[in-house]
Amino acid sequence: MPEEPCQCADCQRFYKEHDRLIREFPTFKQQQELSWASIQSFRTLCNKITDELQRQLSEKESNEDLSLEGNHISDKEITEALDELESVNAYLYSIEALMEKIFDSKVSNNIELKFKEIAKQLAPDPLNIDRLILNRLFHQTPDFPDKKNIN
């Protein structure tokens, strides 16, 4: 019996997004640029939030009475978030170093045409096996109990 791909909301969102990124960025060069932009935007946002949370924390320390409108984030939440963001930033930094290596690679125009051709075949397929493998990262709920021992 073939393994049924998971159809939970997280997985379905992943299938859709995965295909969109292949359809809209069907060349080697476009995928390079997309990955780079994705890492950089994630880093930019995380860094900005880190700065903001640190500022908020130090303002609270210097002024106990300060109560900002609509600010319901506790010190504990801020401290935990800062720890998480620090790890994420370190990982993103490592990924960025690897992405620079990937950016060194180039393919000829003929190979780019091949990319486009294959992208067209790949993106409409809702059950692409490569995507299903990748999606284990996005999958938020455990698989059926009887599948636990397969891997």
The residues binding Zn ion (CB under 5 A) are 6, 8, 11, 139
CB environment 108-129: b (16+ within 10 A), e (fewer):
eeeebeebeeebeebbeeeebe
Nearer to Zn ion, 6 or 92 (CB): 6
Is the alpha carbon torsion for 117, 119, 124, 128 positive or negative? positive
> What are residue 73's phi and psi, to 5 degrees?
-85, 125
Nearer to Zn ion, 12 or 27 (CB): 12
Nearer to Zn ion, 42 or 138 (CB): 138
Residue 103: CB atoms within 10 A of its CB come to 13
Closest distance between Zn ion and the C-beta of residue 87, in Å? Answer: 25
Nearer to Zn ion, 91 or 144 (CB): 144
Closest distance between Zn ion and the C-beta of residue 95, in Å? Answer: 24
Burial class (CB in 10 A: 0-12, 13-18, 19+), 15: buried
Closest distance between Zn ion and the C-beta of residue 42, in Å? Answer: 23
Closest distance between Zn ion and the C-beta of residue 5, in Å? Answer: 8
